[in-house]
Structure formats: structure tokens, C-alpha cells
Amino acid sequence: MSEQSKPAGPAGWLADPTGRHQHRYWNGTDWTDDVADQGATSVDPFNPPPKPAPNPAPTPPPEPPAAAAPASPEPALVPPTPTVSPVVTTKPLAKNEQPSSGGGIVALGVAFVVIVLALVVALVVLFSR
């Protein structure tokens, strides 16, 4: 335990050096397991803050890459990775039926805009009389 975590002075409730509680009891020689927060006491084993680790040795610079192998006359051909889009349907598709592309959402949005515009026109006509 470092000398910094051992205060000089009589026994009493002091700021918890671990920072986990508001106060910890100093018995005049050592910190105890008795702690207090907002006036309520409890027990928490005293584990002093860890000592700072010494500075590690600097890491050596990376080794230069090995001499590159001569390039092959033709690059290796890598087959393309197939991509699969998930399709969620509520019924099986017929052989000649294509999955929906989300056009229903666009139509719903257009219908909403048309209804709003019709209501605005109706209100303008109604209040312009």
C-alpha cells in the first residue's frame, strides 16, 4: 500500500480513497472495510487502487517486408461471390411470378399526398367564401 493512500491523523470517516463510496473509515493505522454513502453505512472490502504500471519498453519498429515475389504474368482469377437478396412473401410465388419490388409503399405514399392536397383545396374553397 502506498504512503499516499495512508493519511496522517486520527481515526475517523474520510473520503474513500478507492472512489467507490463517499466515505471510508480510517482507524488511525489502516483503512477498514466500513464505508458510508449519504449517511448509510455498509461494508465493502478495502482494495487499494492498483499501483500504476511502469512504462513498458518501446516496441521495436516493424521489420521491412520480405522481397516481393516476381509478379505472375496473369492475375489469379477469383470467381465472383454470389449475392442473395432476402425475399419475404406471404404466399409461395408461381414459377412465372416475380417478387414485389415495394411499389405498394410508393402507391400508398402518393395516395396520402393526393388526399392531403384534396383536403387543403377543400379548406381553401370553404374559407374563401
**Per residue in 32-81, pLDDT tens?**
999 999 989 999 998 876 677 777 777 777 877 766 555 566 666 777 77
Alpha-carbon distance values, 111 to 21, 116, 117, 119 (Å): 61, 9, 10, 12
Residue 6 pLDDT level (bands cut at 50, 70, 90): confident
Domain boundaries along the sequence of the chain = 3-43
pTM beyond 0.85: no
